[in-house]
Amino acid sequence: MVRSIRIVAAAALAIGLLAGCVSRADQSAPQAAPETVPLSELSGLTLQIGDQKGGTEALLRAAGALEDLPYDVAFSTFTSGPPQIEAATAGKIDFAITGNTPPIFGAASNAKVKVVSAYDGGGFGDQLLVHADSPIQEVTDLRGKSIALAKGSSAHGHTLVQLHRAGLTPDDVKLVFLQPADALSAFKQGRVDVWAVWDPYTAQAEKELPVRSIAQATGVTNGAGFGVASAAALADPKRNTALADLLVRYSKAVKWAHDNRDEWVARYSAEVGLDPEVGAVAQGRSLRLPTDLSDELVASEQEMADLFAESGQIASAPDFSQWVDRRFADQLSPLYIERD
């Protein structure tokens, strides 16, 4: 039997989910995984999943991975990763997939979450955009310029690393913290000089606006996405079991999208309301492929966390490894996909 799928508006969850609501009790201690329960015992359970438009739900639905679920799922839409971390900490969602920076901000605020899976996004769509006629040619030209980005997002991390490599600090520029829709408006109106953003926003801007990219994240940051689960869900036998099942379904759905690009692009573009050409660009370079939550990947996150602390973007650098939980590795490792 196909379980029901419910969608919850993002605005309803956004109320009260401020960073200040995160508990300061230590959340970094290792958690023992509870006993797995039979899937047949999950009837009546609703797994709450944070999502971004055209993200987890769209992919699962397109691949048919939401058929015959032994539990219910409810999707809540967010504009970026940081509010998803806050929602998981507040107990509003059980799981979400974010970019590489939101989990760092979560760890720095002692969020009640763990990173449980990893996805290679390549970083090709994470770019710093300027207007085509801008005098800015490279990152070293950004001194004194304004950069629109979502605080705590992958764009924030990418921007910080780019500035560091160019010998600049956040104090040398003006960081304007805006969610993508507001950032686009500010950029189009010339109220900011640069827009740091990710796909599909990057691909859409390239199609619809006269823009140039002065930097991309590939080879600069790890370009990864992460599956983040709430500590409460991981401690609950039924939710933990459902999460394991969902993660396997998601990895298989990505494999389907990877092997059926044209069909996935058509479904994705329709879901997001994008020109199919834009969808093809975005998913052609930024489809997140399941990968190993390796020590090397965790170390690259730690380097970014250290840089955030050194530059004053967070108060202190967390030990990122303490926010990593590899309990699902055995189920997921056969499903890893190498990027072409």
Those residues with Cβ within 8 angstroms of residue 151's Cβ, 6 or more apart along the chain or in another chain: 82, 177
pLDDT at 19: 36
pLDDT at 27: 55
Can the peptide bond before residue 180 be classed as cis, meaning omega within 30 degrees of 0? no
pLDDT in tens, 67-79: 999 999 999 999 8
Mean pLDDT for the chain?
91
Give me the residues paired with residue 196 across strands.
128
pLDDT category at 8 given cuts 50, 70, 90 is very low
Contact 88, 3 (CB under 8 A): no
Strand ranges across the sheet with 146-149: 174-177, 146-149, 194-197, 127-131, 211-216
State what percent of residues in the chain have pLDDT above 70. Answer: 91
pLDDT in tens, 102-161: 999 999 999 999 999 999 999 999 999 999 999 999 999 999 999 999 999 999 999 999
Collapsing DSSP to helix, strand or coil, 118 comes out as strand
pLDDT in tens, 257-307: 999 999 999 999 998 889 999 999 999 999 999 999 999 999 999 999 999
Whether residue 316 is predicted with pLDDT greater than 80 in this model: the reply is yes
Which secondary structure element, helix H or strand E, spans residue 154, and what is its range? helix 154-165
Buried-exposed string 291-304: b where 16+ CB fall within 10 A, e elsewhere: bebeeebbebbbeb
Those residues with Cβ within 8 angstroms of residue 106's Cβ, 6 or more apart along the chain or in another chain: 82, 85, 89, 113, 228, 323
All structural domains of the chain, each given as residue ranges with its CATH number in brackets, are: 39-121+223-333 (3.40.190.10), 127-216 (3.40.190.10)
Q: Which residue has the higher pLDDT, 209 or 17?
A: 209
| Span 15-30, average pLDDT | 44
Give me the residues paired with residue 115 across strands.
228, 324
pLDDT in tens, 317-336: 999 999 999 999 999 999 99
Whether residue 2 is predicted with pLDDT greater than 80 in this model: the reply is no
pLDDT category at 28 given cuts 50, 70, 90 is low
Q: Which two tokens stand for residue 121?
A: 């996004």
Angle between the N-to-C axes of helices 261-272 and 276-286, in degrees from 0 to 180, rounded to the nearest 10: 120
**Cα–Cα distance measured from residue 335 to residue 328, given in angstroms and rounded to the nearest whole number:** 12
Residue 79: how many CB atoms within 10 A of its CB? 17
Contact 328, 117 (CB under 8 A): yes
| Span 223-235, average pLDDT | 97
**Cα–Cα distance measured from residue 253 to residue 275, given in angstroms and rounded to the nearest whole number:** 23
Dihedral of alpha carbons 167, 215, 77, 299, sign = negative
pLDDT at 7: 36
Contact 10, 78 (CB under 8 A): yes
Pick from 82, 80, 86: nearest CA to 313: 82
285 CB-contact burial (10 Å; exposed 0-12 / middle 13-18 / buried 19+): middle
Whether residue 185 is predicted with pLDDT greater than 90 in this model: the reply is yes
pLDDT at 230: 98
| Span 55-60, average pLDDT | 94
| Span 159-171, average pLDDT | 96
